Amino acid sequence: MPRLHVNGKARAYDGPAAKRLLDVLREDLGLTGTKEGCGEGECGACTVLLDRRPVNSCLIPVCQAEGQKIETVESLGSPERLNVLQEAFLTEGGAQCGICTPGMLMTAWSWVRGGGSDSPEAIRRVLAGNLCRCTGYQHIVNSVVRAVRERRRGRAAAKAPRKATTARAPRKRRKA
C-alpha cells in the first residue's frame, strides 16, 4: 500500500496503484484545489510539485509518486495569510476565473522558490505549459515578476537565509 507524502504529511492510500495522482488527491484525499482541465497533460491545470518539480498530476499514476514529496496549492498560504506569490497574484490581477490558478501557482512557485529570475521572457518560458484562457498571460507574468522581487526583498530584509516555508506571507493581507 503506497504511503504518500502530501503537503508535509504522511497520508495513507489503499486504492488502485495506477489511479491518476490527480484523482487520488481530489477523490481520496479531498484536496480539490488541484483542477482537471484536459486530462492529457496539455493545459497544466492539474500541476502539482513532485520533489519540488512541477508535473501534470493527470499523467502520473499514484504509485509513481510514492516516496516523493507531493505539494499542492493547499500547501501555499491560507486566505487569511496568503504567501508572497498568492499575494502578488491578488495585487496584479493574475487570477480571473481561477480554474488555471492552482496549477499556474504551483509552476510559478517552483520557479520563485527555486530562486528563478524576474525576467518576463524567462517567466513566459516557465509558464508555457500552463494554459490560461482569461488573462492573456500579461497579468500572470507581472504577478510572478512581483513575487520574485518581493521574495528577494523579504529575504534581504531578514538578512539571514531562511527556509522556503518561512518566506511565506511577509505581510498580512488587507481585510477582505
Question: By rule CB under 8 A, what string of x and - marks binding of each residue 135-174 to another protein?
Answer: xxxxxxx-------------------------------xx
SS3 81: strand
Where are any strands of DSSP class E within 16-147?
47-50, 53-56, 69-71
Which one, 97 or 158, has the nearer CB to another protein?
A: 97
The answer to whether residue 176 forms part of the interface with another protein (CB under 8 A) is yes
Which one, 33 or 54, has the nearer CB to another protein?
A: 33
- Distance, CA of 5 to CA of 2 (rounded, Å): 10
Exposure letters 140-152 (e unless 16+ CB within 10 A, then b)? bbbbbbbbbebbe
The answer to whether residue 112 forms part of the interface with another protein (CB under 8 A) is no
The answer to whether residue 54 forms part of the interface with another protein (CB under 8 A) is no
CA proximity to 100, closest of 145, 31, 32, 37:
37
Task: At 61, give phi and psi (nearest 5°).
Answer: -65, 140
Question: By rule CB under 8 A, what string of x and - marks binding of each residue 13-32 to another protein?
Answer: -------------x---xxx
Which one, 13 or 109, has the nearer CB to another protein?
A: 109
Q: How far is the CB of 63 from another protein (least distance, A)?
A: 18
Which one, 8 or 67, has the nearer CB to another protein?
A: 8
C-alpha dist (Å) from residue 69 to 5, 10, 166: 5, 10, 18
SS3 123: helix
Which one, 6 or 73, has the nearer CB to another protein?
A: 73
Residues near another protein (CB under 8 A), total: 62
Residues near another protein, by CB under 8 A: 26, 30-40, 42-43, 45, 72-74, 76-80, 82, 86, 89-93, 95-102, 105, 120, 123-125, 127-141, 173-176
